[in-house]
């Protein structure tokens, strides 16, 4: 008989800028070695994953980490008293720090996590990426953090236009002149604060790799993908798995050197001369994880096993040429569901 685990998952916002929660849950429901009871943790009461059939067994609203980590932890403790959570899989960059910091506290109440260490999380920040590249011997585009508008006039001395203007957590815009940099600086800093990162624009094809590290330097799973259809928010609406061995080598080398713990996504630009530049490292499972599952690597299942201390054999292969195509679909809900979640914080 298979064991049954209670797993709490965030990121139920299956919108045009989707969180990874729903595909992670789909993967867990298809796990071969265990059954699951899924507790959805939602920040907003209109996150589609709350209302989708056969996704969550129960949903709780939780406060944003920006409200305070104590409030968030108190809510998790309350939910745990009712649900007895075995594993928690956070899926947002912005909440990871709080959960990493509370790792021991969570473990004391029986909730297991498998997250990067604070050091791993900090050193791959966009503003630190150049240092990261030097430390681990990977190519990173030249970049610089700026914190005020007066620094924009100096960009022309260090960069060639166009340049990428990036927020520390999200958002990236291509700017062709100082006026555009100013516009994007204001837009990004108002939303995400400073610093804003100016990054050399590398021409080429963007490719992504989803990977899972066991924290000891081993790559448990890795699947590369190229976006085939991109939304105006830059998100993949369709993608295909690739057979590029170089991408797998870069990933394995990085996980070996950093001893990466948990899920990750590498965003890489492959130039026409076959050079590979890492432009971002996301410290969590990406929203396109279900493509990896479809290609033969159930990365969320392996993550849960690692979380619970099981030995996991690395995946040996995946199918090349597997595609995913997102779609939008109108769910019909009822005001009573919305009412229940809004008033009681549970559904």
Partner 1 sequence: MKLKKNIAVSETGFLFDPNSGESFSVNETGKKILTFLEEGKNENEISKWFADNYEVDNATFENNFNDFLTVLQNFRIVE
Compute the distance between CA of residue 80 and CA of residue 280 in angstroms, rounded to an integer: 34
What residues from 251 to 270 belong to the interface with partner 1 (CB under 8 A)? none
How far apart are CB 324 and partner 1 at their closest, in Å? 12
The two structure tokens encoding residue 131: 């240092």
Spatial CB neighbours of 322, under 8 Å, sequence gap ≥ 6: 240, 241, 291, 294, 295
Contact predicate 29/35, CB 8 Å? no
Of positions 17, 228, 271, 344, contacts partner 1 by CB under 8 A: 228
How far apart are CB 208 and partner 1 at their closest, in Å? 11
* 206 lies in the binding site for partner 1 (CB under 8 A): no
* 243 lies in the binding site for partner 1 (CB under 8 A): yes
How far apart are CB 320 and partner 1 at their closest, in Å? 5
How far apart are CB 204 and partner 1 at their closest, in Å? 11
Longest Cα–Cα distance in the chain: 66
- Binding part of the chain for partner 1, among 28-36, 38-46, 125-133, 240-248 by CB under 8 A, reads 240-248
For the purposes of burial, counting CB atoms within 10 Å of the CB of 344, is it exposed (0-12), middle (13-18) or buried (19 or more)?
exposed
Question: Which of 271, 270, 269, 280 has the alpha carbon at shortest distance from 167?
Answer: 280
- Binding part of the chain for partner 1, among 32-40, 119-127, 242-250, 251-259 by CB under 8 A, reads 242-250
* 326 lies in the binding site for partner 1 (CB under 8 A): no
DSSP string, 49-87: HHHSTTT-SEEEE---GGG-HHHHHHHHHHHHHHH--SE
* 271 lies in the binding site for partner 1 (CB under 8 A): no
* 230 lies in the binding site for partner 1 (CB under 8 A): no
How far apart are CB 59 and partner 1 at their closest, in Å? 36
* 177 lies in the binding site for partner 1 (CB under 8 A): no
Q: By the criterion CB under 8 A, which residues form the site for partner 1?
A: 205, 207, 225-226, 228, 240-244, 320-321
């Amino acid at each position: 008989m298979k064991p049954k685990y209670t797993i709490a998952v965030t990121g139920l916002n299956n919108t045009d800028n989707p969180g990874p929660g729903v595909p992670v849950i789909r993967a867990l429901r298809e796990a071969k070695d265990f059954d699951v009871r899924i507790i959805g943790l939602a920040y907003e009461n209109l996150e589609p994953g709350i209302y989708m059939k056969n996704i969550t067994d129960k949903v709780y609203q939780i406060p944003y980490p920006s409200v305070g980590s104590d409030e968030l932890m108190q809510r998790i403790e309350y939910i745990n008293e009712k649900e007895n959570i075995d594993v928690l899989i956070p899926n947002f960059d912005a909440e990871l720090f709080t959960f990493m910091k509370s790792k021991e506290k969570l473990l004391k109440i029986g909730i297991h996590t498998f997250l990067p260490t604070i050091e791993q999380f900090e050193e791959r920040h966009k503003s630190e990426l150049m240092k990261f590249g030097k430390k681990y011997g990977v190519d990173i585009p030249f970049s610089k953090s700026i914190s005020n508008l007066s620094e924009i006039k100096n960009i022309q001395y260090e960069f060639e236009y166009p340049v990428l203007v990036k927020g520390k957590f999200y958002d990236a815009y291509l700017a062709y002149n100082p006026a555009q940099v100013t516009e994007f600086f204001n837009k990004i800093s108002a939303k995400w604060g400073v610093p804003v990162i100016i990054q050399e624009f590398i021409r080429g094809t963007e490719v992504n790799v989803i990977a899972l590290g066991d924290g000891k330097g081993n790559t448990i799973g890795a699947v590369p993908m190229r976006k085939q259809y991109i939304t105006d928010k830059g998100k993949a609406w369709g993608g295909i798995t690739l057979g590029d061995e170089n991408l797998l080598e870069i990933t394995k080398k990085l996980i070996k050197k950093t001893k990466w713990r948990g899920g990750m996504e590498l965003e890489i630009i492959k130039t026409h001369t076959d050079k590979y530049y890492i432009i971002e490292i996301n410290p969590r499972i990406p929203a396109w994880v279900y493509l990896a599952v479809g290609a033969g690597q159930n990365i969320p299942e392996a993550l849960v096993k690692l979380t619970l201390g099981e030995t996991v054999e690395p995946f040996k292969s995946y199918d090349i040429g597997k595609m995913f195509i997102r779609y939008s679909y109108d769910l019909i809900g009822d005001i009573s569901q919305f009412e229940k979640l809004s008033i009681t914080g549970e559904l």
